[in-house]
Amino acid sequence: MVRSRNEHCEIHGAECRFCGAQAKGTQRPCRRHADRGQQICYMHGGAAPQNRRKAEERLALLVDPALEALADLVDFGESGQIRLRAAKVILDYAGYQPHRTPEYITTSMIERELARVNAEIEELERELEV
């Protein structure tokens, strides 16, 4: 059975999961990242529909335990920063977006844009007269 391996990744600067397959010619480990929820890369079967489907099923089974762990962090986290970050992750997952300040259009903004458009129209009219 092919086992993925966790190694330090130069690209991401952190531990990453790499494909566990071996190259046929050199018998050296594959250097591609394993696909999400899988132990292999797309070149070694990760792109196959049945493998993608199983990976999605495995990941779906992890959602509830992950949310429970985050809920524990919200309730019992060591610091306020940890509790806040856990709460943000839960809210993002639930579809809540950070509140954004609405943009207001003022009368002066409209007047400036109208003046700019009128100047362009006059310029085009002058070019047509020539």
Q: What is the pLDDT of residues 25-82, one digit of tens each?
A: 888 888 888 888 888 898 888 899 999 999 889 888 888 888 889 889 888 888 888 8
- Mean pLDDT in the chain? 82
37: left (phi over 0), alpha (psi -120 to 50) or beta: left
pTM: 0.50
For 40, counting Cβ atoms within 10 Å of its Cβ (0-12 exposed, 13-18 middle, 19+ buried), the class is buried
